Amino acid sequence: MGVKLPRGYQLKFQLHYTTSGKAETDETKIGFFLAKGEVKKEVFTKVILNPRFEIPPHANDYGITYERKTKKDIMLYAMNPHMHYRGKRMSFHVESPEGEERDLLSVPNYNFNWQRTYVLEEPLQLAKGSKVIVCNAWDNSAQNPHNPDPTKKVRWGDQSFEEMFFATYQYTEE
């Protein structure tokens, strides 16, 4: 399996920096493993995001839900939740075309400083028309020790003092 990068493809690597007022050094590295031989399955990443939210001041459990429907039969391998300092929890669920629901991932105590990709122990087959559903909640209250300012409305933004509802999942087409 592998991710296809066609000739001439432009890869963008995005980091969110906030200035500190002094010169800083960045030691970020990125590495690639190139396939030796034929790649039998191409790995894709689907993004689930909703940039249209407004977290009220002092809200300690403000959440939204967003979903994506699969256009083909897929094999699901991994999921990645992403929010910023006000992130409280995020979960992934799937609903089959027949309406059967299944929990995939629950991150009940989200921590911006500990972001990771969650890989399923066993890949999961999802039928065409399945819904991948992501639910989250933010804590914009004074009880959140990471909250930069609980008195402000918070909207989408790249800076950590702003917020995101951003999730991805990795899959192959079957």
* Tens of pLDDT, residues 3-37: 988 889 998 887 777 778 899 888 888 888 888 88
Which pLDDT band holds residue 126 (cuts at 50, 70, 90)?
very high
Structure tokens at 74: 């897929």
Instruction: Note the maximum CA span of the chain.
Output: 57
Question: Structural domain of residue 154, as residue ranges?
Answer: 47-173
Q: Per-residue pLDDT tens for 49-91? A: 999 999 999 999 999 999 999 999 999 999 999 999 999 999 9
How many CA atoms are closer than 13 Å to the CA of 22, on its beta-carbon side? 0
- In angstroms, the CA 160 to CA 137 distance is 16
Predicted structure pTM score? 0.88
Return the pLDDT at 86: 97
CATH number of the domain encompassing residue 107: 2.60.120.230
Residue 7 lies in a domain: no
Checking DSSP bridges between strand 166-173 and strand 43-49, what pairing results, if any?
antiparallel
Looking at the domain assignment, is residue 41 inside a domain? no
In the chain, the number of structural domains is 1
| Within a domain: 30 | no
Please check whether residue 74 lies inside any domain of the structure. Answer: yes
Say if 164 falls within a structural domain.
yes
Residue 116 lies in a domain: yes
pLDDT band at 118 (very low <50, low <70, confident <90, very high): very high
Residues 35-54, buried b or exposed e (16+ Cβ, 10 A)? Answer: eeeeeeeebeeeebeeeebe
Per-residue pLDDT reduced to its tens digit, 85-117? 999 999 999 999 999 999 999 999 999 988 889
Q: Is residue 24 part of a domain?
A: no
| Domain contains 14 | no
